[in-house]
Amino acid sequence: MAKKKLKIGVLFGGKSAEHEVSINSAKNIIKALDKKKYQVFPIKIKKTGQFNFSSVKKVDVIFPVLHGPFGEDGSIQGLLKLSEVPFVGAGVLGSAVGMDKDVMKRLLREAGIPIGKFITLRDFQQTDFGIIKRKLGLPLFIKPANMGSSVGVSKVRNEEEFIKAIKEAFKFDTKIIIEEFIDGREVECAVLGNDTPLASIPGEIIANQEFYSYNAKYIDEGYVVEIPAKIPKNISEKVQELAIKTFQTLNCEGLGRVDSFVKKNGEIFVNEINTIPGFTDISMYPKLWDASGIKQSKLLDRLIELAVERFEKEQKLKTTVS
Ligand SMILES: Nc1ncnc2c1ncn2[C@@H]1O[C@H](COP(=O)(O)OP(=O)(O)O)[C@@H](O)[C@H]1O
Ligand SMILES: [Mg+2]
């Protein structure tokens, strides 16, 4: 008798500036899931946030393919946890701290992971270009604390751009971060696992615009990808080591893509983690694993397995004190 197929709910869309990106990632995942093993149920979350919640209870595992606030920040993970359905990727805490660039960077700093200097600003606080310039130098990067896909991110060289960039970032969040510019190559590393995560070979993003902006990412194809990244072996190993340490420090599970800057002198600075990285057929996360010897459908099998493992482990925890 054929083995019963596992029902996988692919949750996508969502109330986020990255709604469209999510649709493309979900399409790819739905296509790549092995139909001999899985029965796939696409569950779309509208831009208003509405979705058919009863669909969630009908499946064996949920695969959240949502980027940005509400999807990647622990909100939906909390709902799934309460629903007692296994789901792919980081739980509530890992999702929340991985999404918030301010909290993320403070945790990384505390763990001794090299990161650039930054200042956090809330919407009720005043700021002064002169003071920031003295502390962080020029140019600066200004971004919403909770966002992705370079939405609301600006590179700033003078006071006029500074004021504009702050306004822009505050459109997306009530908290923003101002960072020193790091002059380095952008190297990305995919991480996979729960308790003993593995790191893929690193790849490089070479943006042919001012920086790896939203336009470069999705509109103009303003970048090229180099896999493996053309960096010396010892640097590549260090990038992998830092990627795993970042993943663990931030309480992540399942998957994550850790993005770093590698300076000319070999110094590495971790920029961020993405707990639900882009997953289209040209996205870095699946491509890095493919280049590391794990084909996409096997990668999805493993992510589903990890979701079930984590769920079963948590189910064993005592919830009473008798
Ligand atoms: N401190 C920095 N120094 C140099 N470039 C930066 C810095 N911060 C961001 N960038 C550029 O902006 C892009 C988007 O910033 P990032 O922090 O990755 O935000 P997002 O979460 O939106 O991807 C990066 O890929 C990089 O090209
Ligand atoms: Mg990024």
Mind listing the pLDDT tens digit for each residue in 10-53? 999 998 878 888 999 999 999 999 999 999 999 999 999 999 99
Decide if domain 183-306 falls under CATH 3.30.470.20. Answer: yes
Which atom in ligand 1 lies closest to the alpha carbon of residue 118?
1
Atom 16 (ligand 1): residue with closest C-alpha?
150
Q: For residue range 261-320, what is the model confidence (pLDDT) as tens digits?
A: 999 999 999 999 999 999 998 899 999 999 999 999 999 999 999 999 999 999 999 988
The rounded Å distance from CA 223 to ligand 2 centre is 13
Atom 13 (ligand 1): residue with closest C-alpha?
212
Pocket test for ligand 1, best of 21, 141, 178, 218 (most atoms within 8 A of CB): 141
Pick the CATH number of 6-94 from 3.30.420.40, 3.40.50.20, 2.40.50.100, 1.10.4080.10: 3.40.50.20
Atom 2 (ligand 1): residue with closest C-alpha?
181
* DSSP string for 236-293: HHHHHHHHHHHHHHTT--EEEEEEEEEETTS-EEEEEEESS---STT-HHHHHHHHTT
d(CA 275, CA 222): 24
- Percent of the chain predicted with pLDDT > 70: 99
* CATH superfamily membership of 118-180: ATP-grasp fold, A domain (3.30.1490.20)
Q: Find the ligand nearest to 116 CA.
A: 1
- The two counts, helices (H) then strands (E), for the chain are 11, 13
Token readout for 188 is: 């990305």
The rounded Å distance from CA 295 to ligand 2 centre is 24
Report the chain's mean pLDDT, rounded to a whole number. Answer: 96
Atom 25 (ligand 1): residue with closest C-alpha?
212
What pLDDT score was predicted for residue 1? 58
d(CA 79, CA 134): 44
Q: For residue range 201-250, what is the model confidence (pLDDT) as tens digits?
A: 999 999 999 999 999 988 888 899 999 999 999 999 999 999 999 999 99
Token readout for 249 is: 């420090």
Is pLDDT at 194 greater than 70 in this prediction?
Answer: yes
Is pLDDT at 163 greater than 90 in this prediction?
Answer: yes
d(CA 212, CA 205): 8
Catalytic site positions: 18, 149, 218, 257, 259, 272, 274, 278
What pLDDT score was predicted for residue 157? 98
What pLDDT score was predicted for residue 2? 64
Q: For residue range 62-78, what is the model confidence (pLDDT) as tens digits?
A: 999 999 888 899 999 99
What pLDDT score was predicted for residue 70? 86
Q: Find the ligand nearest to 137 CA.
A: 1
Q: For residue range 123-151, what is the model confidence (pLDDT) as tens digits?
A: 999 999 999 999 999 999 999 999 988 99
Q: For residue range 77-89, what is the model confidence (pLDDT) as tens digits?
A: 999 999 999 999 9
Which atom in ligand 1 lies closest to the alpha carbon of residue 183?
4
The rounded Å distance from CA 12 to ligand 1 centre is 24
Atom 21 (ligand 1): residue with closest C-alpha?
148
Ligand 1 is surrounded, with C-beta below 6 A, by: 116, 141, 143, 147-150, 153, 179, 181-182, 186, 207, 211-212, 259, 271-272
Which atom in ligand 1 lies closest to the alpha carbon of residue 181?
3
- Give the ranges where 171-232 is alpha helix by DSSP (H): 214
Annotated domain spans of the chain:
6-94, 118-180, 183-306
The rounded Å distance from CA 274 to ligand 2 centre is 7
